[in-house]
């Protein structure tokens, strides 16, 4: 069984501030972890993924995430928020053949 918990359904940050979106997971097998972003009126788009190897994963648009097995976490960060980062972000875990479980999503608001 696997699950994803995203802490905070809404997060607000000022433009230029650090973005931190939290994700904790549970999985009975070594997990593959993903972050997706959804802009208004669009589908989900892959930001980054962790499979094996380096625990710090870099993605598109300046985002990165760190896999911490001991904390079962995969938090998403960006050093400096931009207005164009306003969107909904989904953490997902895959523990088997396309058995992907998504979190409920975190809406990021960027305040000018």
Partner 1 sequence: ETGVTQTPRHLVMGMTNKKSLKCEQHLGHNAMYWYKQSAKKPLELMFVYNFKEQTENNSVPSRFSPECPNSSHLFLHLHTLQPEDSALYLCASSQDWDPDSPLHFGNGTRLTVT
Structure token digits, residue 84: 């164009």
Stretch that binds partner 1, among 16-24, 41-49, 59-67, 73-81 (CB under 8 A): 41-49
Where does this chain touch partner 1 (CB under 8 A) — which range of 15-23, 54-62, 68-76, 94-102? Answer: 94-102
Give the Cβ contact number of residue 74 at 10 Å: 28
Does residue 103 bind partner 1 (CB under 8 A)?
yes
Q: Contacts from 42-48 at CB under 8 Å and sequence distance 24+?
A: 44/90, 47/76, 47/89, 48/76
Binder of partner 1 out of 28, 41, 70, 84 (CB under 8 A) = 41
Q: Where are the alpha helices (DSSP H) in the chain?
A: none
Q: For residue 34, what is the enclosing H or E element?
A: strand 32-38
Q: Does 37 bind partner 1 (CB under 8 A)?
A: no
When asked if residue 56 is in the footprint of partner 1 (CB under 8 A), the reply is no
Residues within the interface to partner 1 (CB under 8 A): 4, 9, 32, 34, 36, 41-46, 49, 51, 90, 94-105
């Amino acid at each position: 069984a696997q699950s994803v918990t995203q802490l905070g359904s809404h997060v607000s940050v000022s433009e230029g501030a650090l973005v931190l979106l939290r994700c904790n997971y549970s999985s009975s097998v070594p997990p593959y972890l993903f972050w997706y972003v959804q802009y208004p009126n669009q589908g989900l788009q892959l930001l980054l993924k962790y499979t094996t190897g380096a625990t710090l994963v870099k993605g598109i648009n300046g985002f990165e995430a760190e896999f911490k097995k001991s904390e079962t976490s995969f938090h998403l960060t960006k050093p400096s928020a931009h207005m164009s980062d306003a969107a909904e972000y989904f953490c997902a875990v895959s523990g088997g053949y396309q058995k992907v479980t998504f979190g409920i999503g975190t809406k990021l608001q960027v305040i000018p």
